[in-house]
Structures are given as C-alpha cells and as structure tokens.
C-alpha cells in the first residue's frame, strides 16, 4: 500500500514555527490510531508534536463510522430534521446533534477562512430554504 501524500497537511500546533503552513515537508507518518483503526498519526519534525490526520476535521474524535457521519450529513443537508435523521441513520438524537454541531462549526471556520474581501452589492438567498421562515414557532 502506498503512503499518502501529506503535502496538503499542516502542523496544528499554534506554538510551532510552521503552524498552519502546508508544503513544508515537516510531517512524517508516526503510527496508527488504535481506535478508530486505520487513522494515520503524524509527527511534525519542526515541533516534535504528534497529531491525528483528522485533527481539525469534523471526523476528529468521532465514535461512529465515516459512513454513518456522511449519512447524517446528507440527511441534514437535504433538510431532514434532527430526529428523523437519527431514525433514518440508526443513531440517537444526541448523536445527530453532536455531529451537526461539529460539522457546522467546521463549515463556519472553512467559510471564514475562504470567503474574504467580498463586498457584495446584493445577496440572493436560495429559495429552496425559504421554508425556514415558516418553521418559526408561533408564540
Ligand atoms: Zn509543528
């Protein structure tokens, strides 16, 4: 089995001299996680810290399979509620809520990193989600 290319990964240690910088050739495979299996551990040669290849992703620290996490994300993206998503994916409401929070936080960070210096003259919200306004609970 060939080893993956780590050139798109970066050291997640804020105290490291090459923190967040990709293509620095500072990362080396350093064993595997025991649980879940098959997750690569990496070592930064600049700071000597070890970390999971999943650090900084919504999959980091999950206690479910990747397939289940993807399933939950697909159902939520299609507009299914938290409880129906749990029933359809074979998970509990809390499992869905925790993963939705993780994925949402990650999406927020990704958006904030990627979308910069935009000065929109107009904003058109997607009509597909206009029903959200109708879901507000009447008092
Ligand atoms: Zn480092």
Residues with CB in 5 Å of ion ligand 1: 11, 13, 16, 44, 46-47
- C-alpha–C-alpha distance, residues 22 and 25, integer Å: 8
Q: What is the pLDDT along the chain (139 residues), one digit of tens a residue?
A: 457 788 889 999 999 999 999 989 999 999 998 776 788 999 999 999 999 999 989 999 888 888 999 999 999 999 999 999 999 999 999 999 999 999 999 999 999 989 999 998 988 776 665 555 566 555 5
Ligand 1 centroid vs 81 CA: distance in angstroms? 40
3-state secondary structure (DSSP) of residue 135: helix
Backbone angles phi, psi at 48, to 5 degrees: 80, 5
Ligand 1 centroid vs 77 CA: distance in angstroms? 35
Ligand 1 centroid vs 31 CA: distance in angstroms? 17
Ligand 1 centroid vs 109 CA: distance in angstroms? 21
- C-alpha–C-alpha distance, residues 135 and 125, integer Å: 17
């Amino acid at each position: 089995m060939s080893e993956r290319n780590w050139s798109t990964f970066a050291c997640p240690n804020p105290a490291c001299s090459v923190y967040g910088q990709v293509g620095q050739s500072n990362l080396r495979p350093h064993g595997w996680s025991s649980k879940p299996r098959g997750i690569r551990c990496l070592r930064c040669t600049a700071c000597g810290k070890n970390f999971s290849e999943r650090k900084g992703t919504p999959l980091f620290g999950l206690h479910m399979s990747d397939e289940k996490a993807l399933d939950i994300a697909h159902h939520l993206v299609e507009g299914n509620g938290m409880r129906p998503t749990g029933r359809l994916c074979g998970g509990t409401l809390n499992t869905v809520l925790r993963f939705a929070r993780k994925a949402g936080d990650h999406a927020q960070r990704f958006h904030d990193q990627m979308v910069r210096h935009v000065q929109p003259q107009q904003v058109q919200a997607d009509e597909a989600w206009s029903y959200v306004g109708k879901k507000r609970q009447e008092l």
